[in-house]
Amino acid sequence: MNIRMASRVLLVARGTDRPSSSGTEGQRPRPAGVGLGCLLTGSSGAVGSVLTRWRRGSTVPRGLEETRRARPPPPFPARAGRDRRGRSLSAPPGSAAGGGEPPAVRAMAGRNPGTELELGWISKVHVNRPAVVRHAERIKKWRTVKGNWQAAWLLKAVTCIDLTTLSGDDTPSNVQRLCFKAKHPIREDLLKALDMHDKGITVGAVCVYPARVVDAVNALKAAGCNIPVASVAAGFPSGQTPLETKLAEIKLAVEYGAREIDIVISRSLVLSGQWEGLYEEIRQCREACGEAHMKTILATGELGSLANVYKASMIAMMAGSDFIKTSTGKEVENATFPVGVVMMRAIREFYWQTGNKVGFKPAGGIRTAKEAITWLMLVKEELGVEWLTPELFRLGASTLLEDIEKQIFYHVTGSYALQHDLAMA
């Protein structure tokens, strides 16, 4: 696709409906180190060397060359006060807003301090839905990996999973089983066949209801691992509870030992345009979380439009959210790739404005290994390899791990797993 055509792919704009189509401005250089060879070099480094070992003496699988080829993402449209590359016209060249090198990746403990409410950031937002859908579909078609490369991507996906059980019939016994699976997500002999058995591969977190937090904390402590426990709160999944009740539930979950809190916003505040009220609600939830990291669930399937998704994302990050999350998993429409594109564009805009990195978590309806790889590819394309760590990217899923393990079983053995071959998740 030539530059003239690429310049017309409008995803999210502020203050303009049409980007300029002349010249070569708008091409944002691809961040350093986006080849698949550094895909698995996350903060833990647990699966960092597998691709290097597999690459030596091997040929690139068919269809992978397009994945490895440098391909600039769609350009950013011009908007008031900023040039075509998204740089502030008044900021110094060396700053993040002025187009300088982005600051180093912040550790999870660094948190997002948030900002004052800036309604000017969302006042003139327009989302070209057909362009967003085309871009998301294009990513899905570009990205096809097979063989050893696919196994490497899948192992990366495992480390980013929030292994979840949010059922009304949850008991201490099935939470304990879930925690065991969290520590041993892939069968030991399969990891040995890949020479990955000593890399400490675990899931990103275990996610449960507040009433089951103590069970999860005790089970993980007995297993001798430091996997964080995440708890949903703040009126999950509907959000239709008084703010005082939401804050009390958050504090109780933290007191029980939850290190991450997944709150849910009041969708009515978005649909009625009460952005100040939404900001204040999320800000108070952030304060109630204390040292626990806060993921804000937007329930995008109930927000009415992609423009509302973008605005709610920006408000949540201004209010101090450490992650923004697509869905509760209980809506009719959950995580979709177009919604993911819009939310990631909001994350990137917030990063350029403030220098603070915010994580992204798609959740709901992610059941297959192929979908997990597509999400990883989309994050890599939109935000860069630096976001492909458990500190900045999570996959909310309850059944995804089972399919990933089946795919790895097939890769190692050449045959499909029977029902009794894999431990229950």
The residues carrying an active-site annotation are: 262, 325, 361
CB 257 within 8 A of CB 213: yes
User: How many residues would you count in the chain?
Assistant: 425
First to last CA, the chain: 43
Structure tokens, 117: 């409410």
CB 259 within 8 A of CB 293: yes
Tell me the one-letter amino acid at 234.
Answer: A
Give dist(CA 107, CA 43) in Å, integer.
9
- Please report, for the chain, how many H helices and E strands are present, in that order: 15, 10
Give dist(CA 22, CA 218) in Å, integer.
61
127 DSSP 8-state letter: E
Residues 6+ apart with CB under 8 A from 423: 180, 181, 184, 187
CB 298 within 8 A of CB 325: yes
CB 3 within 8 A of CB 27: yes
Rg (CA), the chain: 21
